[in-house]
Amino acid sequence: MKEKIDFTAYAQKITEALPRGILLNTNGDKFNAMVIGWGALGTVWGLPAFTVYVREHRYTKAQLDRTGEFTISIPLEKPDPKITKVCGQLSGKDVDKAAQAPLTLEEPAANSTPGVREYPLTLECKILYAQEQELSRIPEDIRAKMYPQDIDGSATGANKDPHTAYIGQIVDAYIIR
């Protein structure tokens, strides 16, 4: 069962959960969930929005580019360490994260990307805009820390590549009960 919510009433819970790890879900070739610790909840062009940042060589990026949508799943309590490990360290290109974590997928309401019962606070989003970050425009201290250029961008855990920012209009919000 889905309990519809006004996501703004949960804004503090969402922003507090984000740096501890929430799930960015995609559903292109197959379902995939990736742990994210960066994002922004707000309003863009008068629309409720959640912005996610995904690096160039991630399987998730190809899925986002193909489908134009995503779902955010947020734990109401602490993140599950096994979910964090599977969805944060393995590539969905190589493994079935839903099976390995394991995750219970919940049918979406407004798009085609499921939510995750274990992380029940759910935002379904339609991508409005995507833009690759320009590293030269990022302050030097942040660029040096977050985008070191001495690591191959395709390596597991690599952080050389810039992110693409995806602004997603929140088209539905609920808690999976």
Q: Of the candidates 18, 45, 57, which has an alpha carbon nearest to the alpha carbon of residue 126?
A: 45
The pLDDT of residue 117 is: 98
pLDDT band at 62 (very low <50, low <70, confident <90, very high): very high
The pLDDT of residue 148 is: 80
Separation of alpha carbons 82 and 46, rounded Å? 38
Q: Which residues are within 8 A (CB) of 82 and not within 5 positions of it... i.e. 6 or more apart?
A: 101
| SS3 state of residue 143 | helix
The pLDDT of residue 145 is: 84
The pLDDT of residue 154 is: 55
Separation of alpha carbons 141 and 29, rounded Å? 37
pLDDT in tens, 128-142: 999 999 999 999 998
The pLDDT of residue 146 is: 83
**Given a cut of 70, is residue 5 above it in pLDDT?**
yes
Average pLDDT over residues 8-15: 97
Average pLDDT over residues 112-125: 98
Single-letter amino acid code for the residue at 63? Q
Q: How many CA atoms lie within 13 A of 5 on its CB side?
A: 19
Q: Which residues are within 8 A (CB) of 76 and not within 5 positions of it... i.e. 6 or more apart?
A: 13, 120, 121, 175
Single-letter amino acid code for the residue at 79? P
Question: What is the Cα gyration radius of the chain?
Answer: 15
